[in-house]
Structure 1
C-alpha cells in the first residue's frame, strides 16, 4: 500500500507540473458561475470540483453547491466536473464579453461501477452537520446489500464493522465504538430502541433507505450528545412530485438459512387541485431458518421480520408538512448451543470445537428467542421565510417493546423472562439562515436549533435494569464560510441530561429512587482545502460527551439474549471525547482514493469488562461482565483506493486499521475490531446484447487475528477455573472469497435488476472476534444470494 500511495503522489505532482499555461487574448474580466448537484438526490454537492482544462485551474463548490470563477478571458473553455462517488462530466462553454456567464445546475450521475461512496457533502438541508468526511452507500452499491441487516450493510464502508450475537443479530461499529456512542437517524429521527445492549440490533428496515450515510468521528454538535463514535443516517429517497403512481418490488433469496425476503413500495403524487401532495407505502417480509456453518447447522437460529411504513407529504410554495409512521416487528431465535447448565458445561462448551447438538435444517423458532417491536410516528413542518431563512419543527414518538424468552421458562408459563417498554418523545427545532455573499465572492451560511428528548422505561418479570425517566435538552449553533478553495466551519453545543431510576426495597416494599443530572459544552472546528481540482484535504477537531445510561449504572441480572450476567456501576461519570481526523481525497481518471487518519481520546470510557469468574445461578452458569471506566484511545487509518486498468476493469481496496488502548490499566481493550482488508476486482459492460449495466466482480476479504487484546489465562483454584482477560483467546485470522454478477434486463415494458452473489465460496471454517457466540460455534459457511428489483409504474388515468 505504501508503494501505491507513493505512485499516487508522484502522478499528482507530475500532472501538476506539466499542466500547460494557456490564456486567450481579449477581455479578461469574465465571471463563470453555476451549481453542481447529484442526479440521484438533487442535493448540492459540497466540495465538488470544477476544472478548466485550458487554464489548468479550477475551483470548489461552496456549502450550497455553487461555484464561481472570476477574471476569465473571452473564449471557449472545456469544463471538467468531478466529485468522489460520481462520474466525471466534461462539457464546453463559451464565455463572451458580457461580463458574466452561467452554466446553471449541473447534475452528476452516481458512479455505481467503481463504488466510490466516500464524499464530503452536506447531504440534506434538514440534517446539516459539521464539516466532516462522510461515507455513503446508494444506487447499485446499496442494491448489492439488500436483504441484509443494517449492521451487515454498513460493513461495505471502510472503517465500519459489526458486533454480533450469533448469525442473525448485527450491530454497527464505527472506529471501534458502538451502542449508545452512535446515533442512528431513521428518516431524520433519532432512533431510540434499547440500543445499549451489544445484542440489540437496530430496528430499522434497510429497504426504507435510498442512501445510507455514515459520519465518522464525533458529530454531537448537530445531532446531540452520545455521538462520540459517529452518526448513521438512514435516508429515504425524495417524495415524488410528478402526478401518477409508481414503486418497486424487491425479492431476495439465499441458500444459507433458506432466506426469503419480499419488500414492496408504492408511491404517488396528485395533480391539479392537490398539487404538492404526495404519499408512499412500504412493507417488508423476511424469514430465515437454521443457519449452516461449513459442517453443521446452528440450532434455533431462525428469524422472522414484518415491517410497514407510510408517508404523506405536502409542499406548498414556502411551507410544507409531513406525517410518517413505521412499525418494525421481529422475532429472533438464539443459538441453543450457547445455553449451558453448569460451570463444567460452560468450560466444556468453550473448549469444544463443535456443539454437541447438530440438527438438520428447520424453520422452527423456539426458546430462547427475543421478540422486538418498534413503532415510530413523526410529524414535521417547515417554513421558508425568504431572507429570514428556513424554520423546521419535527416531533416524534417512539415505542420500543422488547421481550426476551429464556431457554427454559422458570415459571412454566409462556410469559417472557425479561420485558422492557421504552417510550421516547423528541422535539427538534432548527433554523437555517439564508446564505449571504461577501464582497470577495465568499459565502456565509449557518444554522441553530434546539433538541429535546423525554423517555420512560417500564420493566416486568426478572430484573436487569430498573424503571427510569430520562430528560434531555440541547442548544446548538453552526457557522460555515466558503470561498474559493477553502471551506471553514465551527460549531458550539450545550447539553443537559437528567435521569431518575426507580427501585423497590425488598424489606419495606417501598419504592425509592436515585437521581442524576449532567451538563456539558462541546465544540468543533473543521476545514477543507482544495489543493488541486482533484485533490482535497479535510481536517476536523471536535469534542463530544455521553452521560451514563441506566444500563451502565444499574444493570444487575442475566442478560439472556447475550448469555451473560451484567453488573452496573452507579459511580460512573460521563464520557468525554476529544476527536480529530485528517483526510486526503484524490479523484483522478484512472486512480482515485481517500486516506483518513483519526484519533479519539475518551476520558471515563465505559465498557463491559469480563469478570474473572463465571457466575452460577439457578438457571445455569454464565460469563459475567461488569461495567468499568478507564481512559482510552482509539486511533487508526481508513484507506479506500480504486485503480481503473481500463474503462471497464477496476480494482478497489478498502483497508481499516485500528489501535485501541486502555491507558488507565496500560492494557488492551476487549471487543475491538481487528484490522481488515476488503478487495474487489470488477469488470463492467455498458451493454451486452439486451443486458445493460452488466458487471462481474470477485471479492476477497482478509480479517487479521486481533493480537491487541487482553491476554487470556486460566488457572484452577479449589476446583474452580479462574479466567483473566477474557473467556477465550481471539480466533485466528481468516480470508473469505466472494463473487458477484449483476445486470439489468428488459421485462415487458419494465426493466428488472438482477444481482447474483456468493459469500464464503470456499466454505472456510472460521470464528469472528466480534461475535459474542464465538465461544461456542463457527461462523456461517457458503451462501448464494439472488436479488431481483423490479420498478413498478401504472398508467395515468385519462
Structure 2
C-alpha cells in the first residue's frame, strides 16, 4: 500500500465476514480481528460476524484471534469504493492458548498508551461470570482486590486502588463515590465482552487520577446482520446459595432501517449468608438488579448511539464487625471466631448498603473526507448511596449516611487518519478534550460535605511505527476546581472552602520486536491526582467500613513518576511475559490507622486519619505458559510487590502480599458430542505480608494504645481449586458449561486485604456452575 494512493483516495472500503470454530462451525463470539498495518481492529458479535469500515485501498494483513484457538493470518486486497467479503474464517482449537489470561498486543480502544495490558475475553471471561469486577480481575498478574467482608470487592493494580484507578464503563469514566475502600464499583460484568487492564500511570488519554492504571469494561460491538439474537447466562454457587441470571437480547434491521441496531440486557443476583469452614457470617446476604439498553445508528460516514444502564444493589454487612465498646472491640479482634454464629439465611437487615447507579450516554461520530474521525460523547451519572447502621440513630426508616453524586462528563476526540512515510513508516494519533462537573448532596450524619467539582483536560498522543520499532509520546494539561460547603454550628450560616489545582504530564513509550516471537516494551510516564473531598474533609463514622475517618484540609496533589519494562515471548510451546515496574508518588495520600480507637454514642471504632508522605511501589509481574504435550498445559502467574514509606522509613498498611497462582490443564482433542472439553487444577499461594508496620499495644490509663495497625497480618495460605468445562450443541447454537471449585480443601484463613479480617475468616469451599447459551431468531448470517 503506497503512501500516494492512501492519501489521494477516499477511505470508504469495508471488509466483513464471520469467524467460526472448526468442526461444528459454531460462531466464535468475542473473537478479535486485528488489522496489523493500521494497529486497529474489531470484535465479532454473537453470530461471529465482524465488519471493519473506512479502509483505504491497499493490501492488509488480518489477524484472527480467539481464546483457545490458534491465531490465523490472512492477506486481504481492498480496492477503492468497494466492499470485500472475507467469507467464513475457521479457527482451529489450540490448548496452548486456553489460559485464563490473554496478553493483548493490539489496542482494544483506539489510541491507548503504549503500556502493559492484559485482557479477559471469550472463554476466559466466561469463567469469571457471576463474580464482581474486583474478583474477576484477581486472576491477572499484578491485579488484586481490597475487600470489606465477602460481598464488597474493589480492584487493586500494583498496590493502588480507589481514586488512583479509572474505570471506563462502556467508554464512560465511572464516578460512584469510589474514594471509599468499601465502595465496590457499580458495574455489571455481564455487559462486557472484554475486560482490559492498563497497568501503570495512564493519565494522558484518560485523565487525571489514573496513577495506578485504567480498567476498560468494553461491550461487544452492536450487531450488524439483520435479525434478532442474544444469550442467556445462569450461575449457581453452593456457598451463600448464590443464584445469578443474566439475559441479553439484540437485533439489527435491514432495508430502510439498515444501520439501526439495538440491545437490551438485565441481571438478577441473590446470595445469602456466606459460610467460612467453621461458621456462617451473619447478614452477608447480597441483592443485585441491573438493566441496560443500547441503540446504535451507523451510516456511511457518521453514526450515533444512546445507552442507558441502572445498577441497583443491596449489600448486607457482617454484624460481627459491629461492636459497642472498647472491650467488645478488643474481644472481637482477639477471639478466633465471632461470638454469634447463626444458621444459613437469605435475610438482609441492618447494617447494609443500598446503592443505585444510573448512567445515560450519548455518542456521535463523523468520518472526515481524508479518513480522520471526530467523536463526541456526553454522559450523565447519578449515584445514590444509603448506608444503614446496625442500630438506627436517625429514625427507623432513615439511613445514617445518604450521599447523592451527580456527574456530567464530556469528551471530544479527533483521531487523524494514518499517514504513511517514504521510509515505510506510519504516523497515527489523536487530540482531545475531557470535561467533568460534579455535585454532591448529603443528609443525616456527617461524613463528607456537600461539594461542587469541575475539571477540564487537553491531550495529544502521537505514535510512529517503522519496521520493528514503535514509538509513542503524549502530553496532557489538567485543571481541577473544588468547593466544599459547611454549616457553622454556632451561627447556622453556611460557608465554603475552595481549592483549585492545575498540572501538566507526559509519557514516552517504545516497543521493539527483537524477534518475531520476542518483544521488548518500555514506558516512562507521569500522572497526578488532586485531593478529593473525602481526603480533605472526612470527619465522621463510616458505617460500611465500621471506622471513624478524619480528613486533612492541608493535603497537596499527588504526583507520580512511573516506569515499566516488559519482555514478552510467544513461542510454539512456551509463551508469557515478565515485567518490572517502579512507581514513585510524591505527596501520597494515606489513610493511616490511629493509635487509639474512637468512642462515640454508637460504640468504639478503629480510627483512621488521612496523611501525606512519599511512597514507592515497585515489583515484578511474571506470567508463563508451557505446553508439556499437545493436550497438557502448565501455567504460572506471579506477582511480587514492594511498597515503602520513604518519609518515615517504614511500611504501609493494606499493601498486597506476594502471590503465586499455578495451574495444570488438560484439553481433550475430540469427544463425541462435546467440544472444548477441559479439566484444570489450580493452586494459589499467598504469602504473609511481612512488609507491614509492626503492630504493638500497651496499657495507658486503663486504655489500650495500638501502633501500626489493630492486628498483625494473618499467616500465609494455600488454596486448591479445580474446573471442568465443555461446549455442547443445543440446536444450532453452542452451549458452554463449566463447573468450578475454590478452596476445595476448606482451609480456614484470613486475607490481609480484607477490612473485616480483624473479626472473621474468609469463605470456605465453594462449588459453582456456569451455563451460557446463545440463541438467534431470523436472519443472522
TM-score (norm. length: structure 1):
0.89
Whether contact under 8 Å (1:36, 1:45) holds in the other structure is: no
Whether contact under 8 Å (2:394, 2:444) holds in the other structure is: no
C-alpha displacement of 1:630: 0.4
Asked whether 1:602 is paired with 2:592, we answer no
Give, in whole Å, the separation in 1 of the partners of 2:378 and 2:75: 47
Structure 1 alignment gaps of length 5 or more:
1-33, 50-63, 71-78, 96-101
Tell me the SS of whatever aligns to 1:386: coil
1:537 to 520, 528, 537: 520
Structure-1 residue corresponding to 2:224: 241
Whether contact under 8 Å (1:163, 1:198) holds in the other structure is: yes
Asked whether 1:772 is paired with 2:755, we answer yes
Asked whether 1:44 is paired with 2:34, we answer yes
Whether contact under 8 Å (2:17, 2:85) holds in the other structure is: no
Tell me the SS of whatever aligns to 1:350: helix
2:533 to 550, 554, 578: 550
Give, in whole Å, the separation in 2 of the partners of 1:80 and 1:282: 31
Tell me the SS of whatever aligns to 1:688: coil
C-alpha displacement of 1:44: 2.7
Asked whether 1:286 is paired with 2:276, we answer no
C-alpha displacement of 1:792: 1.5
Structure-2 residue corresponding to 1:3: none
Asked whether 1:214 is paired with 2:197, we answer yes
Where in structure 2 are the equivalents of 1:253-264 lying within 5 Å?
Answer: 253-264=236-247
Moved more, 677-686 or 568-577: 677-686
Whether contact under 8 Å (2:65, 2:72) holds in the other structure is: no
Q: Would you say how many aligned residue pairs link Structure 1 and Structure 2?
A: 735
C-alpha displacement of 1:685: 1.8
Tell me the SS of whatever aligns to 1:633: strand
Give, in whole Å, the separation in 1 of the partners of 2:570 and 2:155: 28
Tell me the SS of whatever aligns to 1:647: coil
2:630 to 647, 670, 677: 647
Give, in whole Å, the separation in 1 of the partners of 2:156 and 2:15: 35
Asked whether 1:752 is paired with 2:735, we answer yes
Where in structure 2 are the equivalents of 1:629-640 lying within 5 Å?
Answer: 629-640=612-623
Note the alpha carbon deviations across 1:67-93, whole angstroms, 9 max, x for none. 9999xxxxxxxx997989675446799
Note the alpha carbon deviations across 1:602-649, whole angstroms, 9 max, x for none. 000001000000000000000000001000000000000000011211
1:184 to 164, 167, 173: 167
1:170 to 150, 153, 166: 153
Give, in whole Å, the separation in 2 of the partners of 1:83 and 1:534: 16
Structure-2 residue corresponding to 1:665: 648
Asked whether 1:560 is paired with 2:560, we answer no
Whether contact under 8 Å (2:62, 2:76) holds in the other structure is: no
Whether contact under 8 Å (1:337, 1:776) holds in the other structure is: yes
2:183 to 192, 200, 216: 200
Structure-2 residue corresponding to 1:149: 132
Structure 2 alignment gaps of length 5 or more:
1-13, 20-29, 40-53, 78-83
Whether contact under 8 Å (1:121, 1:133) holds in the other structure is: no
Structure-2 residue corresponding to 1:113: 98
Give, in whole Å, the separation in 2 of the partners of 1:704 and 1:84: 34
C-alpha displacement of 1:795: 3.0
Where in structure 2 are the equivalents of 1:328-727 lying within 5 Å?
Answer: 328-387=311-370, 389-727=372-710
Give, in whole Å, the separation in 2 of the partners of 1:65 and 1:415: 58
Measured at CA, do residues 131 and 94 of structure 1 come closer, stay the same or move farther in structure 2, by a change above 3 Å?
closer
Give, in whole Å, the separation in 2 of the partners of 1:181 and 1:105: 44
Tell me the SS of whatever aligns to 1:119: coil
Asked whether 1:737 is paired with 2:727, we answer no
Moved more, 106-115 or 489-498: 106-115
Asked whether 1:787 is paired with 2:758, we answer no
Measured at CA, do residues 728 and 106 of structure 1 come closer, stay the same or move farther in structure 2, by a change above 3 Å?
farther
Whether contact under 8 Å (1:220, 1:226) holds in the other structure is: yes
Whether contact under 8 Å (1:249, 1:789) holds in the other structure is: yes
Measured at CA, do residues 662 and 94 of structure 1 come closer, stay the same or move farther in structure 2, by a change above 3 Å?
closer
Give, in whole Å, the separation in 1 of the partners of 2:634 and 2:117: 22
Whether contact under 8 Å (2:33, 2:65) holds in the other structure is: no
C-alpha displacement of 1:413: 1.9
Whether contact under 8 Å (1:35, 1:44) holds in the other structure is: no
Measured at CA, do residues 514 and 686 of structure 1 come closer, stay the same or move farther in structure 2, by a change above 3 Å?
same
Structure-1 residue corresponding to 2:115: 132
Structure-2 residue corresponding to 1:5: none
Whether contact under 8 Å (1:46, 1:120) holds in the other structure is: no
C-alpha displacement of 1:65: 12
Structure-1 residue corresponding to 2:23: none
Give, in whole Å, the separation in 2 of the partners of 1:464 and 1:266: 42
C-alpha displacement of 1:66: 12
Measured at CA, do residues 745 and 362 of structure 1 come closer, stay the same or move farther in structure 2, by a change above 3 Å?
same
Moved more, 739-748 or 309-318: 739-748
Give, in whole Å, the separation in 2 of the partners of 1:756 and 1:92: 36
1:316 to 294, 299, 306: 299
Whether contact under 8 Å (1:228, 1:545) holds in the other structure is: yes
C-alpha displacement of 1:254: 0.2
Tell me the SS of whatever aligns to 2:256: helix
Give, in whole Å, the separation in 2 of the partners of 1:35 and 1:270: 20
Note the alpha carbon deviations across 1:150-201, whole angstroms, 9 max, x for none. 0000111111000000000000000000000000000000000000000000
C-alpha displacement of 1:120: 2.2
Measured at CA, do residues 549 and 514 of structure 1 come closer, stay the same or move farther in structure 2, by a change above 3 Å?
same
Tell me the SS of whatever aligns to 2:711: coil
Whether contact under 8 Å (2:296, 2:305) holds in the other structure is: yes
Give, in whole Å, the separation in 2 of the partners of 1:449 and 1:189: 15
Give, in whole Å, the separation in 2 of the partners of 1:92 and 1:234: 29
C-alpha displacement of 1:122: 1.4
Tell me the SS of whatever aligns to 1:147: coil
